[in-house]
Amino acid sequence: MTLHGRVISANRPQPWLVFLHGFSGDNREWQAVSETLTAFPRLLLDLPGHGGSADLSVTSFDEMEALLRATLVRYNIQNYWLVGYSLGGRISLYHACQHPAGLCGVVVEGGHPGLSDETSRRERLASDRQWATRFRQQPLEAVFDAWYRQPVFASLSEPQRAALVALRSQNNGATLAAMLEATSLALQPDLRSILQALSIPVHYLYGEYDSKFQTLATQVTGHCHAIPAAGHNAHRENPAAVADTLARILRLEIKDTL
């Protein structure tokens, strides 16, 4: 069992860029950014319960990790960078902390390193379970309208919010709910200490209007990059700036590749 993915320019030299989208997205989420990085082979994945992987499910971060590893083997990806947004960022950080062979580095946008106290974990688990119930029982348009009114998305304009609601409402509520529960932030370990000790580079992108994740970024790595004119969903709100930042990171870290 492996994740559905879309390959671009597979005949180019290593390393690969493997892109992981956020909750309720799919492989198209990183398309605009990935299309600019023509020096690299790229794999854009659909997470369980999403897109072409809608029929797949996991029950834990360990199962998600095993599925990601099996997918990398399927595509014969031996040297790679992970680029992940939000949920995809959290999965990327978790993967990096397992010290997998072949991982060259990680670029995360708006991915939480993990909650550090049990009270926060209990509160988050209760919240995620309530959201999962709504995704299973209510019209997706109504659920996503509420979802994108959470404080983390406060920088969205009404047209931006409406566009996201329309796009995300094409999903399957039951499979989204299952993935939300399986990969709840409440069930993710606090990865800060492991991340800060990694020998591979970890870079963190955040929108300049996303103050919460600006603070979290500094707890993950010293390599923090603000994306101008963007909030939490920076690669959607300012894809050109994210693409430019990612290209600069790769030029810095892979000098003999570009």
pLDDT tens figures, 210-256: 999 999 999 999 999 999 999 999 999 999 999 999 999 999 998 64
The mean per-residue pLDDT over the stretch 87-102 comes to 97
| pTM for the full predicted model | 0.96
Instruction: Spell out the domains of the chain, with CATH numbers in brackets.
Output: 5-116+188-253 (3.40.50.1820)
51 dihedral zone (left: phi>0; alpha: psi -120 to 50; beta): left
Q: Which pLDDT belongs to residue 172?
A: 97
pLDDT tens figures, 178-192: 999 999 999 999 999
Residues in the chain: 258
The CB-side HSE value for 122 (13 A sphere, CA atoms) comes to 3
pLDDT tens figures, 16-57: 999 999 999 999 999 999 999 999 999 999 999 999 999 999
Q: Are 82 and 43 in contact (CB under 8 A)?
A: no
Strand segments, DSSP code E, in the chain are 5-8, 16-20, 42-45, 80-85, 103-109, 202-207, 223-227
Confidence tier at 83 by pLDDT (50, 70, 90): very high
Would you state the torsion angle of the CA atoms of residues 8, 107, 85, 226, taken in this order, to the nearest 10 degrees? Answer: -120
Report whether pLDDT(258) > 50: no
- The DSSP code sequence of 123-170 is HHHHHHHHHHHHHHHS-HHHHHHHHTTSGGGTT--HHHHHHHHHHHTT
42-45 and 16-20 beta bridge pairing: parallel
Confidence tier at 63 by pLDDT (50, 70, 90): very high
Mean pLDDT of all residues in the chain? Answer: 96
